Structure 1
């Protein structure tokens, strides 16, 4: 059942954006991104937002000043973030470590923090993370934009926009953790020394594609394309009741599958039904997976903060996915994740070099990323952990899974998704049916549940 959020009127007064540079002199050099970093699919900006309550122990301290100073100290160690990207031959991305700095905005809001502000997608993102004109490109632009907004209740919001080619969620968490250590005055900051070593994810010599990569297959089918200019975004909450309802639709041998697997299977199926894809068309779900899960062979050093992401895909005809029970989709998602190995990661890296860093398949694809354990909800600048910390919303065909506590105090996972308006209504209807167990062949009768939808 849809439960639209209350939109609290918000006015934000911003100071002029400034460039924060490293607190000390840093090396002026050129650094090369890896073949995983500079793939076309990571050439976008990702927003992260964290909400903090007032802390009596920090009375008299200004979060803007504390974080600005900590950021400058952090950039001494993470100085590539203060540089700018440029393209070398064959569109290879390089970092000019020029020390120009990252964009920083100081701001003040006219209201206190409210729970409905926390729900991704944030209805106030444009105000809490202002897009400085000319700053959102991939080449020649600041690699980070940070805005700290004070609220009248004494709380504040830390919002950040990251050029994704520089790092993944684990790398960003490491960077933010260092800022938080300096902000708290930790004497041994940084506790983890950053390591560049992007060559860990460079192509082999000679490169060779040794695994199937359905996530990069070229599909020219305009019938499955979505108009990115005609999308709305809503989020859906999966708590214990929703997960129990979905697991009840699975045979006993699959009921111990992960939350990610069952939620992904459910969303993929409902989304495909809502899009009304022709029965014989091939649809995909691509699961963003970090190579850090590969325990042997890759030798990722402690402190490495580059991208480690690949996105193996599951495939099905639309008809099979929509008609078969949920177990069918779950097993496909499990199979896709099961492709992960050292050889698979090496094969992806080599594919980037051989095929010129192609974009992932767009038509008929849905990309999901589990950030529930990314740690953004554990970044403490001295005011304690945020009441919400995570990605601020979905991006086109990419959904991020975020840990979330709803207004009832229930812990769960919230998933933002982008769809055209009429498709969104059908999607919401199908998702509601799945949690009500209507028309599912191998389901069991249980207490009806709700999916909380947040505009």
Structure 2
């Protein structure tokens, strides 16, 4: 049983046996090194995404899984490293064995309609295990498929495309580039619309000799203050009203900050107050920032490897609580501003000098945010039109993702899935609600004063 928007949703998924989709033509049999950014320990995990599509009358009679499977095989001719397997070389260096074994693919049908999932499609999706079956033995980083895909046709004629990526192979823009290429093939359009994939991973290798020239609090090794178990997930939606209320909590000189900075600061503040740490304990916010446009020269178009770093803001629980929201916004802005080309080179050097073993702190006092709202996953069209929803299926531990979504009113906004122990989640929701109500109270006071002044 799955639950969407509090309503029990029971459905059955009939899956075909998982198969390997291999490149449609022979591809080079070679080994390719990942970059020093790609193969760091902090990226050795799987990230799941989900795409919902409506019925398209012009595609009547076509099973979306069969269309996508054919397109996937064609696309893997260009992206043949994704059909390979990761091996580990000297000093933990990851190497792609381009052996053409293929990506794992599942064709499925479900006796449910898109409408039954509710008006507001937002992560987390409690039914996700039905829509992306975790094939036993497929979830490892080494010697396992680099992609797992399930295409589930719905009773209404729509379908759900779910994909799980070994994060060492690509970041969000890189994955968008790949699935967009599959979509072009599925629509049987000219392949000149597909940007040619570029490997060139050596461009993000450490200089010789490697030099760590910046401070990297994102890799501080700290002890967990609270256990990261018995976790629950909940999605929070920020439409125009919520964003406006939060923005009015800021002083005038900060009100033109980006929505990312505003929401990240607000969520970080609420989360830090909700987890009941010692007031003097340090908490960290790591914002994942795309470094593609910080490199000189720019990385070539078509590069699909990992090109992000996550500069950190650090303060104490007490400072976040006693200071107004603008304090947290300033910290987020400073963290983003620290991202320079030299910072990127310093991160790469740190990976090499520590043998890739540094991981970002996966503890309750760390909060990691990745903004996917500008990636355009919803624009991926396999022939059934643009996706109704497209983005990450849930939070991944201490990592939360901003995704584009609509609420029940049809308002477009940002949805964020938060993962916390159940009692902390309740406190988090109260903290956020109090922040929003705080500005409403101030607005009502101002309105009352204006009315009295004219009486």
Normalising by structure 1, we get a TM-score of 0.94
Q: Does 1:300 align with 2:299?
A: yes
User: CA offset at residue 134 of structure 1?
Assistant: 0.4
Unaligned runs of 5+ in 2: 448-455
In structure 1, the partner of 2:155 is 152
Matches within 5 A, 1:298-447: 298-357=297-356, 358-363=358-363, 364-437=365-438, 445=444
User: CA offset at residue 119 of structure 1?
Assistant: 1.9
User: CA offset at residue 49 of structure 1?
Assistant: 0.4
**Alpha carbons 1:367, 1:398 under 8 Å: kept:** yes
Structure 1 distance, partners of 2:384, 2:49, is: 18
In structure 1, the partner of 2:74 is 73
Which runs of at least 4 in structure 1 moved beyond 3 Å after TM superposition?
A: 443-448
Matches within 5 A, 1:232-243: 232-243=232-243
Structure 2 distance, partners of 1:141, 1:362, is: 24
Aligned length in residues: 440
Corresponding residue SS for 1:279: coil
Corresponding residue SS for 1:208: coil
**Alpha carbons 1:7, 1:123 under 8 Å: kept:** no
Structure 1 distance, partners of 2:219, 2:336, is: 16
RMSD over aligned CA atoms reads 1.7
In structure 2, the partner of 1:46 is 47
Corresponding residue SS for 2:351: helix
Structure 2 distance, partners of 1:18, 1:435, is: 49
User: CA offset at residue 4 of structure 1?
Assistant: 4.3
Normalising by structure 2, we get a TM-score of 0.94
Corresponding residue SS for 1:10: coil
Matches within 5 A, 1:64-213: 64-114=65-115, 115-116=117-118, 118-189=121-192, 191-213=194-216
In structure 2, the partner of 1:452 is none
User: CA offset at residue 34 of structure 1?
Assistant: 0.4
Change (3 A) 1:394 1:446: farther
In structure 1, the partner of 2:450 is none
Structure 2 distance, partners of 1:447, 1:162, is: 50
Corresponding residue SS for 1:430: helix
Structure 2 distance, partners of 1:226, 1:95, is: 35
Structure 1 distance, partners of 2:403, 2:332, is: 19
Change (3 A) 1:446 1:138: farther
**Alpha carbons 2:265, 2:329 under 8 Å: kept:** yes
User: CA offset at residue 67 of structure 1?
Assistant: 0.3
Corresponding residue SS for 1:437: helix
**Alpha carbons 2:245, 2:439 under 8 Å: kept:** no
Unaligned runs of 5+ in 1: 449-455
User: CA offset at residue 289 of structure 1?
Assistant: 0.5
In structure 2, the partner of 1:244 is 244
Change (3 A) 1:24 1:447: farther
Q: Deviations over 1:141-197 (max 9, x none)?
A: 000000000001000000000000000000000000100000001123552000000
